[in-house]
Amino acid sequence: MVAKTEVLDALKSIGLNLYERNIYVALLAKGVATAAEVSEIAAVPRSRSYDVLESLAEKGFVIVQHSKPIKYVALKPSEAMERTKDVLTKKHEEILSRIDRVSESTILTELEKIHTEGLSFIQPTDMTGTLKGSRLITMQLQSMLKKATAQVEILTTEKGMADIHSNHFRTLKKLAKRGIKIKIAGPFKDHKVVKQLSEVADVRNIRAPVGRVAVVDGKHLLMALTEDTVHESQDMALWTTSEHAVQSMAAPLFSQVWKDAK
């Protein structure tokens, strides 16, 4: 039985690569099989089938029967999903635990020292790059905001205003309590969002959005390169610590928009 494209895409979305998807579906159809048998059904190179089956076993989709020859059993899909959730949850907890241990150890101090010393050799143009995907862009802006020491200036769109509220309001609130000056200019569409942001920032209304730009302390710049109507996976932004880029491009733009805003 050949699985529908939607089925294979769904398996891909939960972390199974091409060979894993094909072998799991083939094993479901076969029930119990050796690596050689399932590789033939799934059209996967026999030399790869052993590793793929072991990987599926680790992820919770397959049970290994230690017979001669070794055979593999596909778990019932509903059971496989539950086992996979348990495996991923445990692995996630282990990784978080390791991160905590590193963060609390002298290793972090050593890494910070290497980073600090390395910065002395870095030119501003080296600290420049593009980010793809709304998630990465949101994480970068969050990182920039947390490092703010004096001021934050944000120029945004209607959707951007909502994103700032949902993803960064708590951080902005903490910055405001620390005395950081925050300015946000964007379209006033959702007045509830604007009202809450006004509690922590000086917010002004602009009728025609000119893009999404964030400047922190006059030296950290994050600027969208795409319209906010694109799919979140295709959203792109430029990030740089070049003060020249900020002062020659972003600062004049924000100053003019802020002056004309209400």
Residue 128: per-residue pLDDT: 65
Closest CA to 209 of 180, 246, 176, 184: 184
pLDDT tens string 225-253: 888 888 888 888 888 877 777 777 777 88
Ordered by where they begin, the domains of the chain are: 5-83 (1.10.10.10), 128-260 (3.30.870.10)
For the stretch 149-202, pLDDT in tens is 999 998 888 888 889 999 999 999 999 999 999 999 888 887 888 898 989 898
pLDDT exceeds 80 at position 73: yes
- Kindly report which listed range (1-10, 57-66, 172-181, 195-204) carries the lowest average pLDDT score: 1-10
158 and 187 in contact (C-beta within 8 Å)? yes
Nearby residues of 253 by Cβ (< 8 Å), 6 or more positions away: 155, 210, 213
Both structure tokens of 34: 């050796």
